[in-house]
Amino acid sequence: MGAAPDRISPQLATLVGAPPKGAGWVYEIKLNGYRILSRIESGKARLFTRNENDWTAKVPSLAKEVEGLPVDSAWLDGEVVSSERLC
């Protein structure tokens, strides 16, 4: 496999009044958190906000957990929700 791209765009939630009906739909409940893109390159993780701010130093424990994944190169896109204030 080739190297991961230099950047990706996050998948952002779309606010709707009700979940979709019918088979084949997957949805998630919107929680207030921070959209974080995790880039793993050569086994090292860096965490970015959707505005490309580097948050690796703000949440080092999350970066360490991401580095524990069994991959050498990848992008992960998700919402980070915590009961504690992150910044």
- The residues annotated as belonging to the active site are 30
User: Strand (E) positions, the chain?
Assistant: 34-41, 44-49, 73-80
For residue 71, which amino acid is it?
Answer: V
Phi, psi for 31 (deg, rounded to 5): -110, 150
Whole-angstrom distance, CA of residue 32 vs CA of residue 13? 11
